[in-house]
Amino acid sequence: MVRTLALVAASLIFGLQIGAFAAEKVKITSPTADTEVRSPLRIEWSPNRLMTVEIRHDDEVEPLTKQINQPSGKKYVIAKPGRTEIKIWVEGASEPSDVIWVNVKEKSSADIQITQPAEDTLVKTDFKLSWQPANKKLTVGFYQNEALLMKIKNVPSGQEFTLGKPGKTEIKVWVEGEAESAESVWVAVAK
């Protein structure tokens, strides 16, 4: 009898904890709603926890992708340009935690892809940054905690950089004169 009561109490407490966790409001922080974006698209939310992600074009009923237990900050390839809906929710919830619409722009032949360092890798404070097409000179920005550490214009692919501050770092590259970055990667900088 005591054992049965203990199991029932534990079930109720566990159920309440899951219910409170599921009710937590998670908001998409990047990209922002109603903006133009390019694929691959990094989707971030706060607070940072595993979520289900669904991406769907407005002219289609079925989603392009629906993936469970996804971390914030993952990149998603969206092959078809146009108005696109992004939903995130806690698994098992009846409604999404957040929904936004973005306009996915078509890729151009000038699209940039960072080839070194790779996404989510550990790099030393001295490292090489490369991209394709390698003949393009770009503007490069380094960010930690959403704060700009350094921004340099007219940088060739294969340039060596030294970052004196270790930590999770976002590297963004731009074609000169364009407002949005052409590509970005996250790396962990270590001494």
Task: Please report the pLDDT score of residue 1 as a whole number.
Answer: 55
Residue 107: is its pLDDT beyond 60? yes
Q: Residue 5: pLDDT above 50?
A: no
* Burial zone of 29 (CB within 10 Å; 0-12 exposed, 13-18 middle, 19+ buried): middle
The predicted pLDDT at position 113 comes to 84
Q: What is the pLDDT of residues 125-148, one digit of tens each?
A: 899 999 988 898 999 999 998 889
Is-same-fold flag (27-104; 113-190)?
Answer: yes
What is the enclosing helix (H) or strand (E) of 114?
strand 113-116
- Spans of all domains in the chain: 27-104, 113-190
Name the residue with higher pLDDT: 168 or 12.
Answer: 168
Can you tell me whether residue 116 is helix, strand or coil? strand
DSSP one-letter string for 9-34: HHHHHHHHHHHHHHHS--EEEESPTT
Query: Does domain 113-190 match CATH 2.60.40.10?
Result: yes
Higher-scoring residue by pLDDT: 19, 24: 24
Percent of the chain with pLDDT over 70: 85
CATH no., domain 27-104 = 2.60.40
* Tokens of residue 171, six digits: 């590297």
